Structures are given as structure tokens and as C-alpha cells.
Amino acid sequence: MDHDSLLEPSWADAHAAAYAAARPVPAERVPLVEAVGRVLAEPAVSLMDLPRSTTSAMDGWVVSGVTGPWELVGSSLAGHPMRRALAPGTAAVIATGGVVPAGAFGVLRRELGSVRTADGGAWAEGDGPAWVHADPPADGPPAEPAAGSHVRPAGLEAAQADVLVAPGRVLTPPQVGLAAMAGNDELTVHRPVTAALLVMGDEVRHDGLPGEGEVRDAFAPQLPHLARLLGLETGPATFVADTLDAAVEAIRACEADVVLTTGGTAAGPADYLHRALTVLGAELVVDTVAMRPGHPVLLARLQDGRSLVGLPGNPLSAMAGALTIVRPLALGLLGLPPVVLGRVVTAEAVGAPAHDSRLVPYVRVPDVDGLGDLLERDVAVGTTRGVLARPTAWLGSGMLRGLAGADGVLVVPPGGVRAGAVVPDLPLPW
Ligand SMILES: Nc1nc2c(c(=O)[nH]1)N[C@H]1C(S)=C(S)[C@@H](COP(=O)(O)OP(=O)(O)OC[C@H]3O[C@@H](n4cnc5c(N)ncnc54)[C@H](O)[C@@H]3O)O[C@H]1N2
Ligand code: MOO
């Protein structure tokens, strides 16, 4: 074992070490349509003033001068801008998105004006000079045009070189749309992070009812999806026989950035993971964590620098290990910020070993007795008023029923907590 490895660190130290162990994967330029859902690696900047030109927000007439009528002298339509300045006392037909010419005072919406002769008579095509009149409402002076009415100045949304999206976040559809509006064709994103899944154990059955001494495999149907929820690209799990050679060969054959194994983490007669890692010359970064369940989880660095997480075989222990180690590792590799723990008020006392944290799935229940109100400034400490966390039943490390119905997971500190305590809340990734 390398002298830098953490042997049985606290839950918080293990969680932080897994994030710190990860260097973001390299970046690549991708077309915008492929950038949604990827992690931005370099700022998305505006390549121009946005909008590029001063444009109209409405259909109507752009006028020069405060009061009309204005002589109609041309038009400025989308794709056919009016290039000359508008002289005082004149107007041009303008469409939404049309360029507002120099000299403009404001835009008069078409429903608030009309085209007539200079003295207000009816005007038809071919009648000679046309004039735009503002039509005042029955009870007062014209509300439009006003200075700059319905005019979107160039650069209103962004100036050239403005940072539109900061790196280190998963790009959303509107962020990519914004990058397009600002003239970008590509963005720089981290390349995808891949994971391989190896399910170890001779006693696991893949379908049907298990026989005596067998269990149904809890991992192959869910781990690929959990990995994807954590941002990792992965295919189906591979089953590996309980022998040292099989474990070594299976790990060696993986090309993914992260290898996730299940089972074989303890020191039992059929537990080969540690020995396989020694054969492979891997370095342990975290070797067991002071938590229950999930105690034997490990994080190793393979010789070529890729990561391996050994999840315990017990189903709830494996999930505790995934939330504690795989999630922060994935966030670090993806170039994303670390997990922020929430805070909840526990409805009941929860025990924990003297030296181990306990990960306890909970359900949200209404705080009918006002237990949370007994706390000073419960809102200020980040809890949700009126909501308590009640530990689920089925907390055994070999069970999944509690987690399956849970709203979150309490990270109960060593020694446990009393009812009404504020406890860190590990949000679920699904
Ligand atoms: N003497 C000790 N024994 C154990 C210790 C210990 O400290 N000293 N730690 C216990 C803890 S805590 C855990 S957690 C488990 C970890 O076991 P392994 O990772 O070595 O896993 P296995 O021994 O292979 O299996 C444990 C358990 O999980 C079931 N299992 C395995 N794979 C699957 C699967 N794909 N689907 C469903 N269930 C699975 C397996 O049948 C066992 O019941 O070690 C304790 N022992
Ligand atoms: O720590 Mo083990 O994961 O309790 O069962």
C-alpha cells in the first residue's frame, strides 16, 4: 500500500479524497448540438454584441421625431435592413427583428397607428405620399412612440467577449441556444468519462429464483443506470468468477476511465479484490471507510492512472460505497463541483457505532409536533421548515428495501444523534 493512501478514513475524508483523487478528463471541441449534457471546460463567450444590431421588438413603423405625422419613406424588414439614416419627420415600415436605422426616435406598433394622407385622409397604394399617424386612444394623447419604445439596442443582452456560461457545469439546452445566438459554432467540453462494471461472485444468479446458497444479482440491472446518473458512460455489467486469475484478467481487460467492481472487498476466503490489485500493481487511495454500511469500499489507482472502486457485495453497502466514493470521483473526472450536502432534522434518535458514521436512508415526513421549531433558526441552518427525516426500516447492509423507498440518506456521525438533531443529508442521484 502506498504511504499516501487513507486507511479507514472518516466518511467526510473519504468523500473528499475521492473527489480530490480525480483530475478532470481532457477537453474537446464539439458542435453545439452535441454539447447539451456535456460539461463545459472553457467559458462560453459571446463572439459579438448581442443583438448584433439595434432592432425592433414589434411590427409597426420606426419614426424620427417625437410627434407625427411622419412621412413614410421606406422599410426595414428582417434580412433587408434600411441602411440610410431616418431624417426628422419621416418613418419607415419595420418588422419585428428589423434593423432600427440611425436617427430613429422609437417604434410605433401597427395597432396604434395608421397610414393616411398628410392631412389625415384615407390613403391607398398609388395615392402619392403616405404619412404615418399615431392613433391616440379615446381618452388621451398617443402613448406611442416614446423615446426608444420597442427598440432593442445592440449589445442589450451581451457585449462581445462577455462570458455567457462559466465552465464546470453540465450544459443545458438554453445555454447552448444562447451560445448559438452569440455566434458560436462549437464549445469546448470535457470528453465523456467511461465506466466498466464487473460483478464478482459465484453465488449470484442472473435470473429466476435463487437456489439454496445463491442470491439474485442486485447489481447488473441497476449499476449501469446508477453510473449514468452519476455522469458516467457505461455498457452492461460483466460477470466475473470468484478466482484471483479471473479478477486480474477482468480488470486488465477494462479500458474505461473508471472500473467499478462489486463483491470480494472483504478478507474472506473467496475475496480476491485486494490480491488482484496487488498483482496489478495498483495503489490504494482509500482502503475501507469508517462508515456502516459500506465499510470495506476501496478506491485504487491502477498503474496507468485510471481509477478502480471496489464496492462491497452487500447491496446496501455497495450503494453506500457508490454514494461515498463513486459520485465524488465521477464529479472530479467530469470537471464538476463537489456534492453539497443538505441538512435535515431527524424525527428519531439514530444510533451509530462509536467510530463509524452511519448512512441511513430516510423518508420525509411532516413535522406535526413542531420538533424542528425547537431548533434555533432552523431555516438558517438550511433545513426545510415543517419537514423531518424519518429513518426507513430495512437498514441491514444486505437489504435494499429501505433505500428503494427513500427520499435521501442521512450521514449520521459516529456515536449517533438524538431526535431533533440537524443531520447532513446526502442527496440521492435519482
Ligand atoms: N470477517 C469479516 N467478515 C466481513 C467483514 C469484516 O470486516 N470481517 N466485513 C463485512 C462487511 S461490512 C461487508 S459489507 C461484506 C463485504 O463483502 P464483500 O465485498 O467481500 O462481498 P462478498 O463477500 O462477495 O458478498 C457479501 C454479501 O453480498 C452478497 N452479494 C455479493 N454480490 C452480490 C450481488 N451481485 N447481488 C446481490 N448480493 C450480492 C453476497 O451473497 C454476500 O451475502 O463483508 C462482511 N464480512
Ligand atoms: O459495512 Mo458492511 O457494509 O456493514 O455490511
More confident of the two residues 100 and 382: 100
Report the pLDDT value the prediction gives residue 40, as an integer from 0 to 100.
98
Please name the residue whose Cα sits nearest to atom 23 of ligand 1.
264
Taking only the tens place, the pLDDT of each residue in 352-397 is 999 999 999 999 999 888 888 777 655 556 788 889 999 999 999 9
CB count, 10 Å around CB of 64? 22
Q: State in Å: Cα 266 to ligand 1 middle.
A: 7
Mean pLDDT of 335-350: 95
Lowest mean pLDDT: which of 2-11, 13-22, 90-99, 282-291?
2-11
In the block, which residue shows the cell 419604445?
149
Report the pLDDT value the prediction gives residue 322, as an integer from 0 to 100.
98
Taking only the tens place, the pLDDT of each residue in 50-72 is 999 999 999 999 999 999 999 99
Q: Is the peptide bond before 353 cis (omega within 30 degrees of 0)?
A: no
Q: Report residue 62: phi and psi, to 5°.
A: -95, 130
Residue 198: pLDDT band with limits 50, 70, 90 = very high
pTM: 0.90
Taking the CA of residue 200 as reference, the ligand 1 atom at the shortest distance is: 32
Report the pLDDT value the prediction gives residue 271, as an integer from 0 to 100.
75
- Residue of 265, 271, 295 best suited for mutating to test ligand 2, as the one with most atoms within 8 Å of CB: 295
Mean pLDDT of 156-179: 97
For the record, the C-alpha cell of 35 comes out as 454539447
Report the pLDDT value the prediction gives residue 366, as an integer from 0 to 100.
93
Whole-angstrom Cα distance, residue 170 to residue 40?
A: 6
- The residues that bridge with 41 in the sheet, in sequence order, are none
Q: Which ligand is nearest to the CA of 216?
A: 1
Whole-angstrom Cα distance, residue 130 to residue 118?
A: 7
Residues with CB under 6 A from ligand 2: 292-295, 312, 314, 317, 397
ipTM: 0.97
Q: With 80 as the cut, is the pLDDT of residue 423 above it?
A: yes
Report the pLDDT value the prediction gives residue 142, as an integer from 0 to 100.
74
Taking the CA of residue 294 as reference, the ligand 1 atom at the shortest distance is: 14
Mean pLDDT of 284-293: 97
Contacts 24+ apart (CB under 8 A), 232-238: 232/193, 232/194, 232/195, 232/257, 232/258, 232/330, 233/192, 233/193, 233/194, 233/195, 234/194, 234/195, 234/196, 234/197, 235/196, 235/197, 236/197, 237/197, 237/198, 237/199, 238/196, 238/197, 238/198, 238/199
Residues with CB under 6 A from ligand 1: 199, 201, 203-204, 215, 217-219, 262-266, 268, 271, 293, 295-296, 312-315, 317, 397-398
Q: What is the mean pLDDT of the chain?
A: 94
Angle value at C-alpha 97, between 94 and 102, nearest 5 degrees: 60
Mean pLDDT of 207-221: 94
Q: State in Å: Cα 393 to ligand 1 middle.
A: 20
Q: State in Å: Cα 342 to ligand 2 middle.
A: 24
Mean pLDDT of 143-172: 96
Mean pLDDT of 197-202: 92
Report the candidate in 44, 50, 43, 47 with the shortest Cα–Cα distance to residue 157: 50
Residue 2: pLDDT band with limits 50, 70, 90 = very low
In the block, which residue shows the cell 467577449?
161
Taking the CA of residue 203 as reference, the ligand 1 atom at the shortest distance is: 41
Taking only the tens place, the pLDDT of each residue in 224-267 is 999 999 999 999 999 999 899 999 999 999 999 999 999 999 87
